[in-house]
Amino acid sequence: MQTAEAVDEVSGLSDLRQGQKKTVTEHRKTRAEVLLVLGVSLGYSAVYALVDLAGKLTAGKGLSSQTTTLNPSQAAGHPWLDLALQLVQIFFGVVPALLALHLLKRDKRQSRMGFQPPRVAWDAGTGAVLAVVIGIPGLALYVASHAIGINTTVVPEALPFLWWTVPVLLLSAFQNAFLEEVVVVGYLTIRLREMSWSVPAVVGASALLRGAYHLYQGFGGFIGNAVMGMVFALFFLRFKRVGPLVLAHTILDSAAFVGYALFGGSLTTLGL
C-alpha cells in the first residue's frame, strides 16, 4: 500500500511530465507559426536574395559593375497604372506585419510590441537619433564595400518624376520599415524568447535574417544590415518599443528614396 508521500511524489512527477510535454507542444506550435510568418514575408525574401546574389556572382562581371534598383517603375509610360500598381504593392507589403500583430494580439502578446501606451516625443526623438547613428556609418560602409567590389551599385528609385512620385516613395519607405521592424524585431524577438532562446541567439537570428534578405545588394548590404539588425534587436530587448525603430527606418529610407528622386545620380546610399 502506497504511503501519502509516495502518492504525492508520483503525482508530482506526473504533473512535471505533463508540464514538460505541454511546453514542448507549445514550442512546436510557435516554431511552426514563426516559420509560416517568415515564409510569406522576409524569410522568402532572404531565400530569393540569396539566389539573386548567386546569379550576380556568376554573371561574369564584378558586383560593383552591376546595378540593383529599388522602387522601379511597374508600368513605364502608363503613369496611372504605375501608380495603382505601386499602391497595391505597398498595401500588400504591410500585410505580413499586420498578420504578426494579429497573432500576438490573439495570444495577448501585442502589448509587448510597445506601440501602447503612446510616447510620441520619446519615440520620435529616439527614432531620429537611431537614424543618424545607423545612417552615417551605413553610408560609409556602402561606399567602402562598393569601392572594394563586394557590393552592387544601389539605385534607390527609378520612377518617373510625377506628382505622385514623392508620396509613393514615402509610403514605400514606411512600408519597408513597418514590415521589417514589426516582423524581424518585434514579432520574432517575442516568439523566440517564448521558446526560451537566449538573448545572444535572438539578437543573432534577427540580425542574420535582416542581413540575408539584403544579400541581393551584395556582401556590403549583408554586413551593414546585419549590424543594424543587432543594434535594433538589442534596443528592442532593452526598451520593448518598436515604434522608434519603425521611425528610424522610415527616415533612412525616405532620405535615400526622396533624396535620389530630387537630386538624381549625385547621391548614393546604403539602400534598404
| Contact by Cβ (8 Å): 130, 234 | no
Query: What is the model's pLDDT at position 103?
Result: 94
Query: What is the model's pLDDT at position 62?
Result: 92
In which band, very low, low, confident or very high, does the pLDDT at 98 lie, cut at 50, 70 and 90?
very high
CA–CA separation, 70 and 173 (whole Å): 11
Residues 203-261: tens digit of each pLDDT: 999 999 999 999 999 999 999 999 999 999 999 999 999 999 999 999 999 999 999 99
Q: Compute φ and ψ for 154, nearest 5 degrees.
A: -95, 120
Residue count of the chain: 272
Q: Which residues contact 21 (CB under 8 A, 6 or more apart)?
A: none
Residues 2-36: tens digit of each pLDDT: 565 555 555 555 555 555 666 788 889 999 999 99
C-alpha cell at 256: 535615400
Q: Is the pLDDT of residue 267 over 90?
A: no
C-alpha cell at 76: 513605364
**Percent of the chain, pLDDT > 90?**
80
| Contact by Cβ (8 Å): 90, 168 | yes
Query: What is the model's pLDDT at position 271?
Result: 38
Query: What is the model's pLDDT at position 3?
Result: 62
**Which residue did the predictor score with more confidence, 109 or 3?**
109
In which band, very low, low, confident or very high, does the pLDDT at 108 lie, cut at 50, 70 and 90?
confident
Residues 127-136: tens digit of each pLDDT: 999 999 999 9
Residues 182-201: tens digit of each pLDDT: 999 999 999 999 999 999 99
Residue 66 backbone class (left: φ over 0; alpha: ψ -120 to 50; beta: rest): beta
One-letter amino acid of 250: T
| Contact by Cβ (8 Å): 151, 220 | yes
Residue range 167-193: mean pLDDT, rounded: 97
| Contact by Cβ (8 Å): 104, 187 | yes
Residue range 32-42: mean pLDDT, rounded: 96
Break the chain into its structural domains and give their ranges: 41-266
**Percent of the chain, pLDDT > 70?**
89
> Which letter, b or e, does each residue of 97-135 get, where b requires 16 or more Cβ atoms within 10 Å of its Cβ?
bebbbebbeeeebbebbbbeeebeeebeebbeebbeebb
Residue range 79-97: mean pLDDT, rounded: 97
Helix (H, G, I), strand (E, B) or coil at 234: helix
What is the reported pTM?
A: 0.88
In the numeric block, the cell 527614432 is attached to 127
In which band, very low, low, confident or very high, does the pLDDT at 57 lie, cut at 50, 70 and 90?
very high
Query: What is the model's pLDDT at position 23?
Result: 79
